Structure 1
Amino acid sequence: MKPVMALVGRANVGKSTLFNRLTRSRDALVADFAGLTRDRHYGNGKQGRHEYIVIDTGGFEPDVASGIYREMARQTQQAIAEADVVIFVVDVRAGVTAQDHDIAHYLRRAGKPCVLAANKAEGMQQDQGGKWAEFYELGLGTVHPVSAAHGQGIRSLVEMALEPLSPPDDGADAAARDMPDADGADGRTIRLAVAGRPNVGKSTLINTWLGEERLVAFDTPGTTRDAITVPFERNGQRFELVDTAGLRRKGKVFAAVEKFSVVKTLQAIESAHVVLLLLDASQGVTEQDAHIAGYILESGRAVVLAVNKWDATDDYQRQLLERSIETRLAFLKFASLHRISARKRQGLGPLWTAIVQAHKAATCKMSTPVLTRLLLEAVQFQSPQRQGLFRPKMRYAHQGGMNPPVIVIHGNGLEHVTDAYKRFLEGRFRKEFDLVGTPLRIELKTSHNPYVGEDRGGK
């Protein structure tokens, strides 16, 4: 088993920067803003032949009584419970604070091995008198100066953290087996991004699936700020659940942190295999829901629609919602629609079936003979519209890509094929291959006469 290290400390001491340094990634959102990280964020790191798991946490206030900071504290306490060793990060330039003492007291009571990392130590010497001595007041042993931003002291910090722990059992081969499937094409791992407007219940839904308070779910829009990935397995199928920040209209996105959150959400949608678009039954389908759906379609991701808080609406609201979905999300007719309640665990079984089905459709393999037969049968049933003296002639079709599926049709004069006829062909292909939940793209390629424009007359 890989050892687990939890990064703990008060807000804005550089935990997320250290997380990115240890995992050699940019997965954690970083900005000069206190309280940016709120959920537990996991990542894999490696030093030499030793591999480990790192947990990034939000600013820790052990004694806070209520509010979102209490939820953040619960996330940190869970990370400490899961960890084999805790790296307590402090700010060497700010010195020891009362909150640092509270955290140190909690860690001593927890009884976990702890390493004290004094961050932001670039350009400073450890023998600078009282600046370093005050950190020994915390009673956690030797102070290790590091600079997460510049990479100074990181190697010795990891060596100190891993020293009391057993090395990995099987080395690189075991690590390779532990790593999730990157592309999901063989069905072993499906990356599922949960997207939607703020406060529609994305974090609550993932917590319900996991059966624990894995993500901070709070009744305030904008609680989730980063895209958090959580591994999950159901009925032998592995998933990577990605909780995303709620997307608001551009005119309402002011803070730089929120702009970064939007970028991370869009990146999560593009890298997902399936996107679950969550709607709020109590508010109906808004213009912003339609914008998010349009971006998902433009990205070519498989999509499943789910209306959350269905139990909190009456018959009249439900009728209005059904009509608004038909009008504002008409371009997602290929996606299945599910009515759920994340808080009451209603409707979640069929939702999982639809997610797996959408992934299967997005990665469907279509043989050239079958596609060509379907194409010729469609043309025989209804020919494309004539343009002037000529009618477009379709000869054969083959698959040009997956996720989303792409069908390439070859022939002559295909630049005159109308959008209506392309939709007709799409319907025939969808019915044959049961392509529910995925966009389908049809590309037309016209063969050109090589002798056009060439003078073939005699001298």
Structure 2
Amino acid sequence: MRKPIVAIIGRPNVGKSTLFNALAGERISIVKDYPGVTRDRIYADVRWLNTQFTLIDTGGIEPDTKNEMFAHMREQAEIAIETADVIIFLVDVRQGLVDADSKVADMLRRSQKPIVLVVNKVDNFHKQMPDVYEFYNLGIGDPIPISAASKLGFGEMLDEVVKHFKTTVDADEEDDRPRIAIIGRPNVGKSSIINKLLGENRVIVSDIAGTTRDAIDTTVRRNGKEYIFTDTAGLRRKSKIKEDIERYSIVRTVAAVERSDVAVLVIDASVGVTEQDAKIAGIAHERGKGIIIAVNKWDMIEKDNNTVKRYTADIQEVLSFIPYAETVFISAKTGQRLNKLFDIIEKVIQNQNLRIATGVLNQILAEATALQQPPSDKGKQLRLYYITQVAVKPPTFVIFVNDKNLMHFSYQRYIENKIREAFGFAGTSLKFLIRERKENS
């Protein structure tokens, strides 16, 4: 099941980053006491009781500004609003209800997303409640008082946020067509791939990086089966600065990947694999999605006998954390190997849903531990008792051991490699949960 997305929206300096950091449990955003310091939107995964969601922090919205930086931050906030399932609208009890709050409220109302109105900087609930009630005038529901700095009132706020998840996420869950997110840096040919698959210019394509405004869902039919492709460009042409374009694309990518089964990372063959490609791939890897690397514009490359080998080695070096990813060399322009892309998508989806019988898994575990003895520390040796698969998408395994601290990362990787040798699992990450079990129990 995909994680819902929650965006914190509000004017500058109402405490969005302080709230974000308190919920995310670490200082990710830079917080200063003057407006406009949260330049780029950052995301984090948050857990409340038994529910997980992805939280997005935004730059402040100045509804009527001529200032270029504030206008840019407003664009970022608009993208966050589009991608969110639920919006936390944050206001400041000390500043009181100001005209700009009403304008932001109008903008949020038009989005037709569930809105939770949260009044920040309420340090004394008893004394300041009359000031909180003033925000009823916004006409978007009950204001919930909190203090982000002191972490007061979070329970009521999060209960209200979580209440809205069921309705927003269920619609996505009911559609069982495979969802494919096309991700990658600007101008690598993401929209061109979808257009070629459709045989029509459904998505606007231009040679200027960042022409696709929205993450667009497109249905593609192949061999009698329907797939939903999402183009994640989500950029505006007037973002001239390279860094801004990259920041814009991150949250749209997070949202699309969260809703997808498989992520196709598109790399520009004429540029080669970059650190930014690694950042984008990391989003899909963290979320346990199937990953395919599509090297586009392959028609533009002069080739010899070693070209594929060289490119593959570069990819393996920069994207060394996803050795399981499948690679395909394509051209959106000529249509070269786009048919093969569908074959690989099908294979990856099957691997994401593959279940292995417990008996077979334990046989592999026994052989693996016999071939390479588990590590020991200070005279105590790691013992692996039992392994079982508990979930798919991604395939998730629980290993019961005598001491969790003895399970070094390298030995876990060794066990993973043995399972991959037996079953492949190409294109999908594997997740391992290590549990302790007392001996003789």
Q: TM-score range by the shorter chain?
A: 0.5 to 0.7
Q: Give the drift of 1:354.
A: 0.8
Asked if 1:200 is matched to 2:188, the reply is: yes
Q: Give the drift of 1:331.
A: 1.8
Describe the shift of the 1:449–1:321 C-alpha distance in structure 2 as closer, same or farther (beyond 3 A): closer
Name the CA distance, whole Å, in 2 between partners of 1:280 and 1:393: 46
- 2:250 and 2:280 in contact (8 A); partners too: no
Find the residue that maps to 1:275 and give its secondary structure.
strand
Describe the shift of the 1:281–1:417 C-alpha distance in structure 2 as closer, same or farther (beyond 3 A): same
- What amino acid is the match of 1:339? F
Which among 202, 220, 227 is matched to residue 214 of structure 1?
Answer: 202
Which among 374, 380, 384 is matched to residue 390 of structure 1?
Answer: 380
- What amino acid is the match of 1:396? Y
Q: Give the drift of 1:213.
A: 0.9
Which among 330, 335, 339 is matched to residue 340 of structure 1?
Answer: 330
Name the CA distance, whole Å, in 2 between partners of 1:426 and 1:318: 27
Name the CA distance, whole Å, in 2 between partners of 1:287 and 1:431: 29
- What amino acid is the match of 2:375? Q
Describe the shift of the 1:450–1:427 C-alpha distance in structure 2 as closer, same or farther (beyond 3 A): closer
When structure 1 is superposed on structure 2, of 196-205 and 407-416 the one drifting more is 407-416
Q: Give the drift of 1:346.
A: 0.3
Residue equivalent to 2:123: none
Q: Give the drift of 1:254.
A: 3.6
Find the residue that maps to 1:333 and give its secondary structure.
coil
Name the CA distance, whole Å, in 2 between partners of 1:254 and 1:212: 30
Residue equivalent to 2:419: 429
Describe the shift of the 1:377–1:213 C-alpha distance in structure 2 as closer, same or farther (beyond 3 A): same
Residue equivalent to 2:266: 278
Asked if 1:366 is matched to 2:356, the reply is: yes
**Cα deviations by residue, 1:413-458 (Å, 9 ceiling, x for unpaired):** 242022221111101111222200000111211114799xxxxxxx
Which among 279, 284, 287 is matched to residue 296 of structure 1?
Answer: 284
Asked if 1:313 is matched to 2:301, the reply is: yes
Residue equivalent to 1:60: none
**Cα deviations by residue, 1:269-301 (Å, 9 ceiling, x for unpaired):** 111100000000000111111111122111211
Q: Give the drift of 1:345.
A: 0.6
Larger radius of gyration: 1
Describe the shift of the 1:279–1:356 C-alpha distance in structure 2 as closer, same or farther (beyond 3 A): same
- 2:384 and 2:401 in contact (8 A); partners too: yes
Segments of structure 2 that go 5 or more residues without pairing to the other structure are 1-60, 65-70, 76-102, 113-169
- 2:351 and 2:425 in contact (8 A); partners too: yes
Name the CA distance, whole Å, in 2 between partners of 1:400 and 1:319: 37
- What amino acid is the match of 2:205? A
- 1:180 and 1:189 in contact (8 A); partners too: no
Q: Give the drift of 1:205.
A: 0.4
**Cα deviations by residue, 1:82-134 (Å, 9 ceiling, x for unpaired):** xxxxxxxxxxxxxxxxxxxxxxxxxxxxxxxxxxxxxx9xx9xxxxxxxxxxx
List aligned pairs for 1:408-423, cutoff 5 A.
408-423=398-413
TM-score (norm 2): 0.57
Name the CA distance, whole Å, in 2 between partners of 1:183 and 1:333: 32
Asked if 1:447 is matched to 2:437, the reply is: yes
Describe the shift of the 1:150–1:205 C-alpha distance in structure 2 as closer, same or farther (beyond 3 A): closer
Name the CA distance, whole Å, in 2 between partners of 1:392 and 1:247: 50
Q: Give the drift of 1:367.
A: 2.2
Q: Give the drift of 1:192.
A: 0.2
When structure 1 is superposed on structure 2, of 294-303 and 316-325 the one drifting more is 316-325
Asked if 1:438 is matched to 2:399, the reply is: no
Name the CA distance, whole Å, in 2 between partners of 1:220 and 1:193: 21
Q: Give the drift of 1:246.
A: 6.6
Identical columns (%): 36
Describe the shift of the 1:422–1:449 C-alpha distance in structure 2 as closer, same or farther (beyond 3 A): closer
Q: Give the drift of 1:390.
A: 2.0
List aligned pairs for 1:25-424, cutoff 5 A.
149=110, 182=173, 189-245=177-233, 252-254=242-244, 262-315=250-303, 321-424=311-414
- 1:227 and 1:244 in contact (8 A); partners too: yes
- What amino acid is the match of 1:312? M
- What amino acid is the match of 1:335? A
- What amino acid is the match of 2:185? R
- 2:402 and 2:439 in contact (8 A); partners too: no
Q: Give the drift of 1:247.
A: 8.3
Describe the shift of the 1:246–1:307 C-alpha distance in structure 2 as closer, same or farther (beyond 3 A): farther
Name the CA distance, whole Å, in 2 between partners of 1:334 and 1:246: 28
Q: Give the drift of 1:320.
A: 5.0
Find the residue that maps to 2:183 and give its secondary structure.
strand
Residue equivalent to 1:22: none
Between Structure 1 and Structure 2, how many residues are aligned? Answer: 282
Q: Give the drift of 1:356.
A: 0.9
Find the residue that maps to 1:215 and give its secondary structure.
coil
Name the CA distance, whole Å, in 2 between partners of 1:253 and 1:332: 25
Describe the shift of the 1:148–1:366 C-alpha distance in structure 2 as closer, same or farther (beyond 3 A): same
* Aligned-residue RMSD, C-alpha: 3.5
Describe the shift of the 1:243–1:148 C-alpha distance in structure 2 as closer, same or farther (beyond 3 A): same
- 1:303 and 1:335 in contact (8 A); partners too: yes
TM-score (norm 1): 0.55
- 1:195 and 1:246 in contact (8 A); partners too: no
Segments of structure 1 that go 5 or more residues without pairing to the other structure are 1-29, 37-119, 124-146, 152-178, 452-459
Describe the shift of the 1:400–1:247 C-alpha distance in structure 2 as closer, same or farther (beyond 3 A): farther
Name the CA distance, whole Å, in 2 between partners of 1:229 and 1:308: 21
Name the CA distance, whole Å, in 1 between partners of 2:266 and 2:198: 17
When structure 1 is superposed on structure 2, of 347-356 and 366-375 the one drifting more is 366-375
- 1:372 and 1:396 in contact (8 A); partners too: yes
- 2:213 and 2:235 in contact (8 A); partners too: no
Describe the shift of the 1:428–1:348 C-alpha distance in structure 2 as closer, same or farther (beyond 3 A): same
- 1:197 and 1:246 in contact (8 A); partners too: no
Residue equivalent to 1:92: none
- 2:388 and 2:397 in contact (8 A); partners too: yes
Find the residue that maps to 2:381 and give its secondary structure.
coil
Q: Give the drift of 1:262.
A: 3.6
Describe the shift of the 1:435–1:219 C-alpha distance in structure 2 as closer, same or farther (beyond 3 A): same
**Cα deviations by residue, 1:129-163 (Å, 9 ceiling, x for unpaired):** xxxxxxxxxxxxxxxxxx98398xxxxxxxxxxxx
